Structure 1
Amino acid sequence: MSHTPTEAATTTGTARTEPTRAATTEQTGTAHAGPASAGSGPAATASTGSEPVGLTTTDVPPGDRRMSAHVRPLIRALRPALTDAEFDRFAAEAHAQGLVFTAVHDEHGHCLAVATHRVLATSRGRVLFVDDLVTDPARRSGGVGARLLAHLTERARAAHCHRVELDSGVTNQAAHRFYHARRMGVTALHFALDVTGD
């Protein structure tokens, strides 16, 4: 998936943050989860008290009106080629596979940022992988993306993960600066092979 650090991120080189470190990202390309697939842990509705105030962080399940009204528009802003119908199919299938959709709302109920993530058991340890992390373009550089990444970091700790990992497009230098500023390191290269052609 992809991200952009001005609070939207794109990815293609794997980044991670140690569980003892807070990280922030704006968009990602693969990663996000809560304790055991994102439903439990410090996720439901929490406001941390630093940076922007009056924010709530909530998991949004398929079928919730906020999925189409709030989550879908931001994910589609990140991935314009995705139609409404394709997003709905993706959300249902991915949620069944453990993907969690987490949204940040302000005190007026406006959705400011969204992350999709899941907890994965891997040979290199348990990780919280962020697939997408995107902030409303009108609210970028206001600390919302950082707040969401910090929330995901806390969820990773609660889920006994070793790291938060995500991908960011190789040309998305703004996102790279954002992640490096949150002490995330480039630890791998992400290779892809298109198998849909001839």
Structure 2
Amino acid sequence: MELIVCDVTPDQVELERDVAPLIRLLRPGLGRAEFAAFAAEAHGQGLVFTAAYDPRGRCRAVAAHRILATSRGRLLLVDDLVTDPDARSSGVGAHLLAQLEDRARRLGCVRVELDSGVANHGAHRFYHARRMAIVALHFAREL
């Protein structure tokens, strides 16, 4: 599938029209106002939304990611990666992840990292198929 991959910023109409609905598939608690506030604040912290569009202009996948300098080296951290359910298993997610890896290399990163919910077994299969390893456990405590 031919895809057009581009970054979408909070001032673009595509953020609410194309990006937000896909992000909400992973984060259903984000209403319209909450998503807009999150996107603006996170963009100010370096978060980038990258969208993959098919030739008909339909947004088929989105990644929210940022570059971090860590004690483990410079890395591209993917906060969210989601593919439109109608486009899953068509190569869209793999294409977008490959684009992120290329970007990470160009920006001097040593790796791409992401978290995946423990119950999201489909995503786990997808990441393992792309030779991603489970290298840590992510712990959290609600406040």
Give the AA of the match of 1:65.
V
Q: CA deviation at 1:175?
A: 1.2
Match of 2:99 in 1: 151
Match of 2:49 in 1: 101
Give the AA of the match of 1:185.
A
Say how many residue pairs are matched: 143
Which of these residues, 51, 61, 64, is aligned with residue 116 of structure 1? 64
Match of 2:79 in 1: 131
Q: CA deviation at 1:136?
A: 0.7
Which of these residues, 148, 160, 165, is aligned with residue 108 of structure 2? 160
Percent identity for Structure 1 against Structure 2: 64
Higher helix share: 2
SS of equivalent residue, structure 2 residue 35: helix
Determine the C-alpha separation between the residues in 2 that align with 1:92 and 1:101. 11
Determine the C-alpha separation between the residues in 2 that align with 1:169 and 1:66. 27
SS of equivalent residue, structure 1 residue 155: helix
Give the AA of the match of 2:40.
A
SS of equivalent residue, structure 2 residue 66: strand
* Structure 2 alignment gaps of length 5 or more: none
* Structure 1 alignment gaps of length 5 or more: 1-51
Determine the C-alpha separation between the residues in 2 that align with 1:113 and 1:81. 19
1:42-81 CA distance string (max 9 Å, x none): xxxxxxxxxx22x100000111010111001111122111
Query: TM-score, length-normalised on structure 1?
Result: 0.71
Which of these residues, 67, 72, 75, is aligned with residue 20 of structure 2? 72
Match of 1:171 in 2: 119
Q: CA deviation at 1:134?
A: 0.5
Give the AA of the match of 1:132.
D
1:79-138 CA distance string (max 9 Å, x none): 111100000000000000000000001111111010000000000100000000001111
Give the AA of the match of 1:120.
L
